[in-house]
Structure 1
Amino acid sequence: MNKVRASVRFRGRVQGVNFRAHTQKICRQHHLTGWVRNLPDGDVQALLEGRESDIRSALEACRRGPDAAKVDDVTIDWEEYRDEFASFDICR
């Protein structure tokens, strides 16, 4: 069970379209921990921890986003697992 950490940036129409709540729901369904937040430049950033296969599945679902969202690009930086979080939360 290979656990990893992924720092993710979503670009496109991802703010004001319920994207963070959508991401939180998906990540919790995949038993991931971490957080998601809006960035001042209009992007959304997320930090996920868990099994690599679960992260990949969750990110594929997040890429589709809620109906009003349009994800144009996703960048992922893979990092070493740190077991830093107890849940997956929305940062405001």
Structure 2
Amino acid sequence: MKRLHAIVHGHVQGVYFRATTQDRAVQLSITGWVRNNADGTVEVIAEGSKDKLEVLHNFLLQGPPSARDSSVDVNWSDAAGTFYEFTVQR
């Protein structure tokens, strides 16, 4: 099991980015969270199998239809196993 920590830059707040990321993660049986940051980025921490996390990473590169991503910074590590579901942080 692996952990993906991503920071998504661009026009990603106010476009249902968090909700669609949660939907995709739940479909993939990935745990973790997504949140808006004060600097206008969206942050994601997700844990699951490497292949499912790569699917989520590809989604983050595109985002929902109204998003305009400029870049995604990603760090990979081993999963900590601390999550039980995928949530939207407020």
TM range (shorter): over 0.9
Identity rate, percent:
34
Tell me, in whole angstroms, the C-alpha distance in 2 between the residues paired with 1:24 and 1:65.
11
Structure 1 segments (4+ residues) deviating >4 Å: none
Q: CA deviation at 1:38?
A: 0.3
Tell me, in whole angstroms, the C-alpha distance in 1 between the residues paired with 2:63 and 2:50.
20
1:10: which partner in 2?
8
Determine if the alignment matches structure 1 residue 44 to structure 2 residue 46.
Answer: no
Q: CA RMSD in A?
A: 0.8
Q: Contact between 2:8 and 2:60, CA under 8 Å: does it hold in 1? A: no
Q: CA deviation at 1:64?
A: 1.6
Where 1:17 maps in the other structure, the secondary structure is: coil
Q: CA deviation at 1:62?
A: 2.7
Say how many residue pairs are matched: 90
Counterpart of 1:87, as a letter, is E
Gaps spanning 5+ residues in structure 2: where? none
Q: Contact between 1:22 and 1:62, CA under 8 Å: does it hold in 2? A: no
Gaps spanning 5+ residues in structure 1: where? none
Tell me, in whole angstroms, the C-alpha distance in 2 between the residues paired with 1:78 and 1:38.
20
Tell me, in whole angstroms, the C-alpha distance in 2 between the residues paired with 1:5 and 1:28.
15
State the TM-score, normalized to the length of structure 2. 0.96
Q: Contact between 2:30 and 2:53, CA under 8 Å: does it hold in 1? A: yes
- Please say which of residues 35-44 and 54-63 is displaced more in the overlay: 54-63
